[in-house]
Amino acid sequence: MSDSQSIDVVHGGTKVLTMETLNPNVVKMEYAVLGPIYIRALELEKELAEGTPKPFGAILKGNIGDCHATGQTPITFVRQVIALCTYPLLLEDPMFPEDAKQRARGILAACSGHSVGSYSASPGIAVFQKDVAAYISQRDGQPCCSNNIFLCSGATEGIRIVLKMLMTGKSGSEQAGIMIPVPQYPLYSATLTEFNACPIPYYLDEENNWSLEVDELSRALTAAKGKCIPRAICVINPGNPTGQVLSKKNIENIIRFAHKEGLVILADEVYQYNVYAKGSQFFSFKKVLMEMGSPYCSHELASFMSTSKGFMGECGFRGGYCEMANFQDDVQKCLLKSISARLCPPVLGQIVMSILTNPPQEGDSSYAKFQDEKSNVLSVLAEKARLITDLFNSIEGISCNEVQGAMYAFPRIYLPDKAIDAARKLNQNPDFFYCSQLLEETGICTVPGSGFGQKEGTYHFRITILPPLEDIRRILGLFKSFHLRFLDKYK
């Protein structure tokens, strides 16, 4: 008998990792944005490429906030600096503006071996930490220490790192409890499942434009008593998937609640540039917290930002930052120890974040073009936000709160009882049933509201506002025709 045969006999010829032996928390976790409907959309895309006849000519991906995948043009200065840094011989090329070359030279000087292919310090390159701190200080009119900044692989990694720090390492009633909004970005529910933590859901008020009410926070926290140890409250502002923008007063109330209940505040602020509605304005939690004075100005706050959203939309570079404000020094040291295990965030993502927080200044040769490209992206997004809100509200059986910010609409669909019954017979959520048929008949890929959480008895879906205006109009036209056919079929 050979050695390999004897090993097979010992293990019974079975695999070590099976669905029965896999980490059960990984099996349970779900991420609806890239869930079953998206997987089916990829299958349909492949079938179209193979020539299989369909009632549509292309898959229209409205499921994910991937700006460049839906046609947004990259910001020129960003790509120029990245090109110069990755291929320094271009520094001699006269086609590149001098300020881009100066920026690239400074970046290369800050990299080990003058190469973006080298590791950086675990929290990020020091000069980039200072860029972020200066940006926050200017944005908020409040001091920010660069030692409180760590750069990360998109805001997602930063959020996961901080959530991991909040875990108790215990189970049952002693496991960590994290307050999360409903509807919420499924990163939070998926990560809490993976970390074996207890989600404490609080409901946003759809009837009041997805507002966040303190009474509801209190109800949610009371309901969690005895089930877990509440550690933090997550707030997404502007909202994903709901698109609301919190008022300053609302943020003050949340801070008071968190301080009273001893909860760390996790402020997901990746859409801070994406504010469209008249009268809406972005206020950072850091700014409001500091302006409230003692005792609130010393409350623990972790806030997150990304290069993937806003006006850059550089999802693939994976750039992000986290500011850890008011945490104890020994906690900061443990955080540094924790992130050192990942070595460092992508250096190119760090560069993009440094440009976001330290863009060309007035008088620089690239300033005018940078500002023009930035304002164009944001103004077109504002136009699409208005268009998509108005159109959904003009259709029978649908209501949609104003898309005040972020990159999505989250309309409510009023499904006929017959459609709900048909879904239940297939053991499907009614909004999943609806979105599946929408995909099969039109090629439009959306995410069912059940993937984000929603109030019992209500049904929604999320769709991005990112595609070009002409595509948005076409998508909404196809959607309206489908929706009316659906209502007629199941009325």
pLDDT for res 248: 96
Residue 2 has pLDDT above 70, yes or no: no
Residues in Cβ contact with 479 at an 8 Å cutoff, skipping those fewer than 6 apart = 438, 442, 444
| Average pLDDT for 149-173 | 93
| Average pLDDT for 96-124 | 96
- Residue 94: pLDDT band (50, 70, 90) is very high
469-490 helix and 367-393 helix, angle to the nearest 10 degrees: 20
User: Which residue, 186, 196, 274, 279, is CA-closest to 234?
Assistant: 186
pLDDT for res 404: 96
pLDDT for res 14: 79
Q: How many residues does the chain have?
A: 491
pLDDT for res 32: 54
| Average pLDDT for 269-284 | 96
Count of beta carbons in the 10 Å neighbourhood of residue 21: 10
- Residue 483: pLDDT band (50, 70, 90) is very high
Residues in Cβ contact with 22 at an 8 Å cutoff, skipping those fewer than 6 apart = none
Q: How far apart are CA 323 and CA 287, in angstroms?
A: 12
Provide the strand spans (E) within 175-271.
176-182, 198-203, 229-236, 264-268
Q: How far apart are CA 123 and CA 337, in angstroms?
A: 10
Using only C-alpha atoms, what is the Rg of the chain?
Answer: 24
DSSP state, 460? B
Residue 31 has pLDDT above 80, yes or no: no
Count of beta carbons in the 10 Å neighbourhood of residue 459: 24
Paired tokens of 197: 């933590």
| Average pLDDT for 20-48 | 78
- Domain positions in the chain are 31-71+370-490, 119-357
The distance of Cα 231 from the centroid of its chain, to the nearest Å, equals: 21
Using an 8 Å Cβ cutoff, are 275 and 404 in contact? yes
Q: How far apart are CA 187 and CA 34, in angstroms?
A: 11
For 22-26, 42-46, 325-329, which range has the lowest pLDDT when averaged over its residues?
22-26
Question: Which SS3 state, helix, strand or coil, does residue 21 take?
Answer: coil
| Average pLDDT for 146-173 | 93
Residue 149 has pLDDT above 50, yes or no: yes
- Reported pTM: 0.91
Q: How far apart are CA 128 and CA 106, in angstroms?
A: 11
Question: Which SS3 state, helix, strand or coil, does residue 149 take?
Answer: strand
Match domain 31-71+370-490 to its CATH number in 3.60.15.10, 3.40.50.11290, 3.20.20.140, 3.90.1150.10.
Answer: 3.90.1150.10
| Average pLDDT for 367-389 | 96
Torsion of CA 389, 390, 395, 401, to 10 degrees: 40
Q: How far apart are CA 323 and CA 33, in angstroms?
A: 27
pLDDT for res 7: 47
Q: How far apart are CA 75 and CA 81, in angstroms?
A: 11
Query: Does the domain made of 119-357 have the CATH classification 3.40.50.1000?
Result: no
Per-residue pLDDT tens digits for 403-419 = 999 999 999 999 999 99
pLDDT for res 33: 58
Q: How far apart are CA 124 and CA 129, in angstroms?
A: 7
